[in-house]
């Protein structure tokens, strides 16, 4: 998608603080962090949200969660805990229409749901 912010970051057209990159995903520090560790993990291909995900994308989703776990370890979050969030659609708070996951940690995040 030509005008997608996260597609442009994944292609290297917009500078970002990249913390991980491979053939399927790119991860970078959020420019407005909500926690001491706030990393966005995005697929290189454009999917507007989780509702655009299909069975053919199963390898991609598996990779996103693997990378999230590795980044949590790299940032020392594996013992204290961390949160992985994706928002889907306007009412959920999705502001960039490119599937992405927030890795948050480094402080007590409180209960969101139990």
Q: Which residues are catalytic?
A: 100
Burial of 105 (0-12, 13-18, 19+ CB in 10 A): buried
51 neighbors 88 (Cβ within 8 angstroms): yes
> What letter would DSSP give residue 16?
-
């Amino acid at each position: 998608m030509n005008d997608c912010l996260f597609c442009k970051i994944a292609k290297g057209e917009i500078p970002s603080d990249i913390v991980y990159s491979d053939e399927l995903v790119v991860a970078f520090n959020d420019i407005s962090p909500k926690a001491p560790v706030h990393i966005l993990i995005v697929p290189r291909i454009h999917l507007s949200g989780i509702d655009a995900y299909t069975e053919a994308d199963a390898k991609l989703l598996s990779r996103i969660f693997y990378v999230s776990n590795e980044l949590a370890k790299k940032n020392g979050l594996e013992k204290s805990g961390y949160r992985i969030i994706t928002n889907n659609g306007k009412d959920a708070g999705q502001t960039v229409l490119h599937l992405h996951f927030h890795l948050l940690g480094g402080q007590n995040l409180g209960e969101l749901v139990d």
